[in-house]
Structure 1
Amino acid sequence: MKILYFGGQKSGKSNLAEKKALSLSSKKPYYLATYDNSFNDKEMHKRIDKHKLQRKDEFLTIEEPKDLLKVLPKNLKAEETFLVDCMSMWLFNNIQEDEEYLITQLEEISKLDANIVFVLNDVNSGIIPFDSESRKFVDMTGIVGQKLAQICDEVYEVKLGLASRLK
């Protein structure tokens, strides 16, 4: 089963995605963390520490900022569960890649026989950014979000800690 939780910043999507991953898994699920730790962003480190405390020791953590297929083996078993938090960071880390590369990676992931819960930030409801790199990020978030919604069995929009099922 593939599931997507998307919403704005601090909407509660990670918390709900964690609960879903735990409910799907018959053993300790994997938490695939996509943040690239090379930015030395102190505020982001605080957010990461909060996420780590929130998930306690209930997940096996794998850190991979760019190539999700590198850590999602092709010979998975259906009882394996992965939480990918977050696809927006993955996209940011791959912003220099073209759309085809990103979509191909998502299509390959969709073929894997495992439970995968994705988290994505919704950044497409605001104004069009002035600079080209920010516009590319917003545009690619929309494209990646559409592809995830297409490949996922369930899609939830999260606001104020509440999930509304769209698919």
Structure 2
Amino acid sequence: MKSFYFGGQKSGKTSCAIKKVLKIATSKPYYIATYDNSYDDKAMQQRVQNHIKERGDDFFTIEETKDLTKVIKSNETYLIDCMTMFILNNMNNGFDYIKRQLEEIFKIDCNIVFILNDINNGVIPMDKYSREFVDLSSLVGQILAKNCDEVIEVKYSLERRLK
């Protein structure tokens, strides 16, 4: 089972996805944290701590910022939180690099719940880097929506199944 949860910032995606993963897992699942915690960003570090507290001891945690293919194995269950940070970490590697990883991941017989921030509903950004980021995020979202068994939009912790 491959599931795709998307929604705006602080929409409740992670808490909804955690429930899903714990429901489908047959053994202790893996939480893949994609945030590059090397920045001196206190607010983001607090968000990381909140996510750690929220998932408690229910998950094994793997920190992987750039290459998901080296940590995802068959017959396991994963929560990837989040693809947005994964995209940001791989901006210099380009879309083809990200697409190849996703193609390889979808070949693996395992359960995965992907989380992605929905950032493509606003004004087209003025600067080139931000436009590229929004474009990449939208393209990755399309790949996830096409290849996942289910697609769930989350708003205010309410889930709406689109597929």
TM-score, normalised relative to structure 2: 0.98
Q: What's 2:55 paired with?
A: 55
Q: Structure 2: any 5+ residue segments left out of the alignment?
A: none
The corresponding residue for 1:7 is 7
Spell out, residue by residue over 1:75-113, the C-alpha distance to the aligned partner (whole angstroms, 9 max, x if none). x12xx1000000000000001112111111111101110
| Alignment partner, residue 99 of structure 1 | 95
Q: Equivalents in 2 of 1:29, 1:2: separation in Å?
A: 14
Letter matched to residue 47 of structure 2: R
Q: Which residue of 2 aligns with 1:81?
A: 77
1:140-160 deviation digits (Å, cap 9, x = unpaired): 000000000111000001101
Q: Distance in 2 between matches of 1:136 and 1:106?
A: 19
2:19 corresponds to: 19
In 1: Cα distance, 2:109 partner to 2:122 partner: 36
Paired amino acid for 2:44: M
AA matched with 1:94: N
Q: Which position in structure 2 is the counterpart of 1:65?
A: 65
Measured on the aligned residues, the alpha-carbon RMSD in Å equals 0.6
Aligned residue-pair number = 163
Unmatched segments (≥5 aa) in structure 1: none
2:153 maps to which residue? 157
- What is the rounded CA distance, in whole Å, between the counterparts of 1:102 and 1:34 in structure 2? 13
Q: What percent identity do the matched residue pairs reach?
A: 56
Q: Distance in 1 between matches of 2:86 and 2:100?
A: 14
Looking at structure 2, the residues matched to 97 and 110 of structure 1 have their Cα atoms a distance apart, in angstroms, of: 20
| Shift of residue 139, structure 1, vs aligned partner | 0.4
For residue 16 of structure 1, give the secondary structure of its aligned residue in structure 2.
Answer: helix
Q: Which residue matches 2:133?
A: 137
Matches of 2:122 and 2:110, distance apart in 1: 34
Three-state SS of the structure 2 residue aligned to 1:157 is strand
1:49 offset after TM fit, Å? Answer: 0.4
Aligned residue type for 1:154: E
The CA distance in 1 between the partners of 2:15 and 2:123, in whole Å, is: 27
Supply the distance in 2 between the matched residues of 1:48 and 1:26 (Cα, whole angstroms).
26
Counterpart in the other structure of 1:126: 122
TM-score by length of 1: 0.96
Partner in structure 2 of residue 41 of structure 1 = 41
Which runs of 4 or more aligned residues in structure 1 lie more than 4 Å from their structure 2 counterparts after TM superposition?
none
145, 148, 158: which is aligned to 2:144?
A: 148
